[in-house]
Amino acid sequence: MRNPYLPLPMKLVKNFTETSDKLIHTFTLEYLNEQDAESFQYEPGQFAELMVYGKGEAPFGIASSPTEKGILKFSVAKVGVVSNALHMLEEGTIVGVRGPLGNSYPLEQLKGKSLTIIGGGFAFTTLRSTIQYILDPANRGDYGDLTVIYGARNPGLLLYKDELAAWDARSDINLITTIDREVEGWNGRVGFIPTVTKEVAPKTDYAIICGPPVMIKFTMPVLVECGFTPDRIIMSLENRMKCGIGMCGRCNVGSKYVCKDGPVFTKAQLDQLPNEY
């Protein structure tokens, strides 16, 4: 019997301060040996429990893409026990990883389809994974047009700035970044995600959306207006979790456990469930 509670030790190779407010760090982890990399097979959208020895573990979306071999990346906001401990770790420390957990974005089903990805704030982690995956030369041909709308309160709070610049330079991705209020030196758009989404009026086959509850709430009607049917709007939930394997009972929405049956659901699926997320 494999014990699903035991973490896999990994080495923290980079602790990078991602945002100007210093509240989000991106952690790059390396496997300690080859077999571990082999056994940790994941897909964009999945998450893992990240453990600081002596402090505990907490669930975080996997921000790296399976196409980035040999490493895992997580971007973590500093909010509590584990996240604070992570932020203070020195490079070279061993941390624990338990996963991959949960389902993933339906990338198989999305093949041949055009896609709009909408992200707000720091809920951009598994979206980064998805974009990196699709943009990989081995996969790009499998997918149609890719539009990405990504917003944050101010430019300093956007994650993955180098990658955003690289994506912006490419012709096979339509990247729209936006910030809440005008600041000097900003060349992208200004405005909240729902408004910007309305302006862009994406006409793709599917949409994936991740962000704070208010953003989701106001963007949803815009997507419906743009013609997306509920089965073509894909979302990822963030209920409080512990076990991540459907046993501890913490993360349920109706009879579904977000950790195991999700975190990825279509709007059509969520419309069938009680509004407890």
Partner 1 sequence: MIVSKNEIANLLTQLAETYRVIAPVKKDGMLQYAAIKNGEQACLDDANTKKPGKEILFPQSEELFNYTISAEGIRMQDNVDKEATVVFGMRPCDVKSLVLLDNVFQNDQYTDVYYLTRRANTIIVGLGCAQPAATCFCSSVGCGPFAKEGSDIFLTDLGEAYVIEGISDKGKELLAKLSLAEAGAEQKAAAAKLQAEVTADGSINIEGLAEKLGGMFEHPFWESLHEKCIGCGACTYLCPTCHCFDIADEAKDCDGCRVRNWDACMFPLFTLHGSGHNPRTGGKARWRQRLMHKFNYFVDRYNATACVGCGRCIKNCPVNLDIRQALADVRALD
Partner 2 sequence: MNTTEKIREVAKQLLADQKVDLVVGFAQGTLPLRSTPYFARTPEQAENLIWSATCENNLANFVRKRTDKVAVIAKGCDVRAIVALIKEGQINRENLTIIGVPCEGMVDRKQICQAIGCQDILEVTDQGAELSLKGKNFEKTLAKADVMFGSCKTCQYNTPVIFDELIGEALPAKEANYDDIAAFEALSAAERNAFIAKEMEKCIRCYACRQACPMCYCSECFVDCGAPAWIGKGAQSVDDNALFQTVRVLHLAGRCVDCGACERACPMGIKLSLLNRKMVKDVKGLFGAEAGVNLNDPPALNVHQFEDKEDFML
Ligand X SMILES: Cc1cc2nc3c(=O)[nH]c(=O)nc-3n(C[C@H](O)[C@H](O)[C@H](O)COP(=O)(O)OP(=O)(O)OC[C@H]3O[C@@H](n4cnc5c(N)ncnc54)[C@H](O)[C@@H]3O)c2cc1C
249 touching partner 1, by CB under 8 A: yes
Q: What's the rounded Cα separation, in Å, for the pair 144 and 236? A: 22
Closest of 24, 14, 258, 1 to residue 152, by C-alpha: 24
6 touching partner 1, by CB under 8 A: yes
Tell me the per-residue interface mask from 37 to 76 with partner 2, x by CB under 8 A, - otherwise.
----------------------------------------
The token pair at 212 is 């704070």
251 is in an annotated binding site: yes
Closest of 52, 64, 46 to residue 9, by C-alpha: 52
Candidate list 17, 109, 240, 271; residue touching partner 1; CB under 8 A: 240
> Most distant CA pair in the chain: distance in Å?
58
Q: What's the rounded Cα separation, in Å, for the pair 43 and 105? A: 8
Candidate list 17, 20, 84, 109; residue touching partner 2; CB under 8 A: 84
259 is in an annotated binding site: yes
254 touching ligand FES, by CB under 6 A: no
Q: In the block, which residue shows the tokens 């456990």?
A: 257
The token pair at 193 is 């995600």
Provide the edge-to-edge strand list for the sheet that holds 233-236. 189-190, 174-179, 146-152, 115-120, 206-210, 233-236, 264-266
Distance in Å from the first CA to the final CA of the chain: 33
Q: Which stretch binds ligand FES (CB under 6 A): 14-22, 126-134, 226-234, 245-253?
A: 245-253
153 touching partner 1, by CB under 8 A: no
Candidate list 64, 65, 75, 252; residue touching ligand X; CB under 6 A: 75
Candidate list 41, 249, 275, 276; residue touching ligand FES; CB under 6 A: 249
58 touching ligand FES, by CB under 6 A: no
56 touching ligand FES, by CB under 6 A: no
Candidate list 44, 45, 59, 202; residue touching ligand X; CB under 6 A: 59
User: Which amino acid type is present at position 34?
Assistant: E
215 touching ligand FES, by CB under 6 A: no
Dihedral over Cα of 216, 77, 19, 167: its sign: negative
81 touching ligand FES, by CB under 6 A: no
Q: What are phi and psi of 258, to 5 degrees?
A: -60, -35
The token pair at 25 is 């760090």
Candidate list 32, 166, 248, 268; residue touching ligand FES; CB under 6 A: 248
Choose the contact partner of 245 out of ligand X, partner 1, partner 2, none; CB within 5 to 8 A by kind: partner 1
